[in-house]
Amino acid sequence: MDQEKNLFPYFQPIVGAASGTIIGYEALARQHDAEGRVISAGELFSSPDIAPDQLIAWDRRVRRLALEQFTQSNYNGYLTINISAAWIDRITDFDSLPTLLMLDELNVDKSRVIIEITESKGELDKLVEIVSVYRKHGLKIAIDDFGAGFSQLERVMAIQPDIIKLDMQLFQSATRGGIASDVVHLLSRLAIRTGCRIVCEGVETADDFHFGLSCGAQYMQGYLFSPATAEFKDPLHYQQQIGLLRKTFLKKNLAKEEHKIQFIAKIKDLIELLKKALETDFNLNELSAHPFEASGVLRFYLCNNQGDQISSNFNFADAKWFEDASQIGFNWAWRPYFYQLLALEAEKDSYRIVTSERYRDFNTDILCKTLSLRLDDERVLLIDIAAEWA
């Protein structure tokens, strides 16, 4: 009982990247330590020495306090409350779900409440059924820690949540680049295609915020703005800060785009030079005198109109060209950059350069893009370039 009295809710703001306002809060359990300082109650709720029924009772107590404070405030946004998927497994009566009973008793507008499903445990079929009940009552559903494991992907496909919160550890790793960055961008694209809104948790620096914007995240949450606190703030509290962050992002990305435009102009000149050389019996040594490598060109090769590779790969490295005939006969018609080019030609737009998405080259481990363009009536020219240049 003493422990229950020591538990209380704090609220961490979630900000909208577009509006610059606080669009909602996540209610988080807090407690006082021996010195009276406010600390997270996460360690308490993950303790294996406390019976689940006791933990559930404490959690519902904190949840009720959070809803009471929410209803008594003048705040008009959303409140996110966490519910463990493992604890949902213990519910037997779907007609009297504790959270719904609280909301009815306190007369809370259910359209302003988001149920955030935490942890990867729990029976999926039962979770889907309970989520359906919540939705019938007008609540929105969020999935926490998306990207933490396959179970989350399975859960997303089954539940089709309204909101997805990216796994904090994955997000922090992704801001440093590498494959984690590729994974987060992929997960973000998946979420956006399914109509979910993205929340980035653990946003602590301006670079974190900018990375979230580059992923298409609409909402941010983290210490860059505020830890969880006892009170609700004015919705416009962070608007000026967010406005400055967006301006910095715009300035930085304008510089990147200007660099891309300069690169494209440079690479187009080299492509024209390469096209002219390929119209005759080209000389690789003569080609190597031009700044292909400095412009990020890795290789080029030729295909027929059916997508069959009809030439060697002509690779460029260390200021020299060399041939690799191992892929002659391979077919690339199934690649988007090939059939998109043919589609443009069918629409009488035959002078376009089609660019692939970024990919990691299997042989060199370099992040690449492939450019495709028409060489003549019978041949298509494909050029692999280092993506960092573009």
Query: What is the structure's pLDDT at 299?
Result: 92
Are 218 and 16 within 8 A, CB to CB?
Answer: yes
Q: Answer yes or no: is 361 within a domain.
A: yes
Q: Are residues 260 and 204 in the same domain?
A: no
Q: Are residues 225 and 290 in the same domain?
A: no
Q: Are residues 86 and 226 in the same domain?
A: yes
Query: What is the structure's pLDDT at 4?
Result: 58
Residue 5, pLDDT above cutoff 70: no
The Cα–Cα gap between 225 and 242 comes to 9
Q: Which of 183, 202, 237 is the last residue in one of the domains?
A: 237
Query: What is the structure's pLDDT at 284?
Result: 79
Residue 104: domain span? 2-237
Nearest to 354 by CA among 367, 344, 341: 341
pLDDT band at 194 (very low <50, low <70, confident <90, very high): confident
List the CATH number of the domain containing 335.
3.30.450.20
List the CATH number of the domain containing 224.
3.20.20.450
Three-state secondary structure along 189-223? HHHHHCCCEEEECCCCCHHHHHHHHHCCCCEECCC
Q: Answer yes or no: is 250 within a domain.
A: no
Q: Are residues 13 and 45 in the same domain?
A: yes
Q: Are residues 264 and 233 in the same domain?
A: no
Most trustworthy range by pLDDT among 5-9, 330-334, 357-361: 330-334
Q: What is the mean pLDDT of the chain?
A: 88
The Cα–Cα gap between 123 and 103 comes to 25
Q: Are residues 52 and 164 in the same domain?
A: yes
Nearest to 292 by CA among 278, 309, 271, 307: 271
Q: Are residues 188 and 292 in the same domain?
A: no
Q: Are residues 356 and 220 in the same domain?
A: no
Q: Answer yes or no: is 249 within a domain.
A: no
Q: Are residues 233 and 261 in the same domain?
A: no
Question: What pTM was computed for the model?
Answer: 0.82
Q: Answer yes or no: is 251 within a domain.
A: no
Paired with 79 in beta bridges are 25, 113
H or E, element range at 326: none
* Overall domain count for the chain: 2
Most trustworthy range by pLDDT among 236-240, 260-264, 351-355: 236-240
Paired with 163 in beta bridges are 142, 197
Q: Answer yes or no: is 243 within a domain.
A: no
The Cα–Cα gap between 167 and 49 comes to 27
pLDDT band at 206 (very low <50, low <70, confident <90, very high): very high
Q: Which of 202, 237, 272 is the last residue in one of the domains?
A: 237
Q: Are residues 87 and 193 in the same domain?
A: yes
Query: What is the structure's pLDDT at 20?
Result: 96
Look at 318 and 161; give whichever has higher pLDDT. Answer: 161
Q: Are residues 356 and 226 in the same domain?
A: no
Q: Which of 237, 271, 287 is the last residue in one of the domains?
A: 237
Look at 152 and 360; give whichever has higher pLDDT. Answer: 360
Q: Answer yes or no: is 279 within a domain.
A: yes
Q: Answer yes or no: is 247 within a domain.
A: no
Nearest to 146 by CA among 125, 114, 170: 170
The Cα–Cα gap between 46 and 170 comes to 21
Q: Are residues 230 and 270 in the same domain?
A: no
Query: What is the structure's pLDDT at 1?
Result: 47
Query: What is the structure's pLDDT at 93?
Result: 80
| Mean pLDDT value of segment 143-152 | 73
CA distances from 258 to 225, 261, 389 (A): 31, 5, 12
Most trustworthy range by pLDDT among 37-46, 146-155, 278-287: 37-46
The Cα–Cα gap between 163 and 142 comes to 4
Residue 44, pLDDT above cutoff 70: yes
Q: Answer yes or no: is 126 within a domain.
A: yes
Look at 214 and 194; give whichever has higher pLDDT. Answer: 214
Look at 346 and 209; give whichever has higher pLDDT. Answer: 209
